[in-house]
Amino acid sequence: MRYPSVLLFYLSTLSYFVTFVLYLLYVVKPPFLKGRGDSPPPLGEGVGERSFGVIAPSISWSLSDMAWGVWATRALGVSLIIATAGVIARAMELGHASQWVKVFLLPLSTTYETLTFFSWLIPLVYFVLERRFQIKQVGVFVTGAAFVMLSVAASPSFAPSAPTGVPASLQSYWLTIHVLFMVIGIAFFTSGFGATLVYLWRRYERKVLLLAGALLGAVVVTIFGVIPLFATLQPLKMLAAGALFVAPCAGFGWLLLFVHRGSQSVMWERLESLEEMIYRCNALGFPFYAIGGLVFGGIWAEHAWGRYWGWDPKETAMLVTALVYAVYLHARLTWGARDPGWRGGLVAWLSVLGYLAVLYAWIGINYFVASLHSFV
Q: Where in the chain does DSSP place strands (E)?
A: 50-51, 54-55
8 Å CB contact between 352 and 214: no
8 Å CB contact between 108 and 153: no
What is the Cα–Cα distance from 330 to 324, expressed in whole angstroms? 10
For residue 45, CA distances in Å to 40, 50, 51, 271, 297 come to: 12, 9, 8, 14, 40
pLDDT of 158: 62
* DSSP reduced 3-state for 300: helix
pLDDT of 161: 64
Burial readout 155-166 (b: 16 or more C-beta within 10 A, e: otherwise): eeeebebebeeb
8 Å CB contact between 116 and 90: yes
What is the Cα–Cα distance from 27 to 23, expressed in whole angstroms? 6
pLDDT of 187: 93
pLDDT of 57: 41
User: DSSP assignment, residue 4?
Assistant: H
pLDDT of 58: 39
pLDDT of 297: 84
8 Å CB contact between 116 and 181: no
**Residues contacting 349, CB < 8 A, separation 6+:** 200, 211, 215, 256
Q: Where are the domains of the chain?
A: 1-165, 167-205+263-376
Phi, psi at 154, each rounded to 5°: -75, -10
pLDDT of 59: 38
pTM attached to this predicted model: 0.80
Task: Please list the ranges in the chain whose pLDDT falls under 50.
Answer: 32, 35-40, 45-65, 97, 100-103
What is the Cα–Cα distance from 102 to 166, expressed in whole angstroms? 11
What is the Cα–Cα distance from 48 to 344, expressed in whole angstroms? 24
8 Å CB contact between 275 and 199: yes
Q: Calculate ∠ Cα 224-225-227, nearest 5°.
A: 80
What is the Cα–Cα distance from 38 to 211, expressed in whole angstroms? 32
pLDDT of 170: 64
What is the Cα–Cα distance from 262 to 198, expressed in whole angstroms? 19
pLDDT tens digits, 80-105: 999 999 888 887 777 654 554 444 55
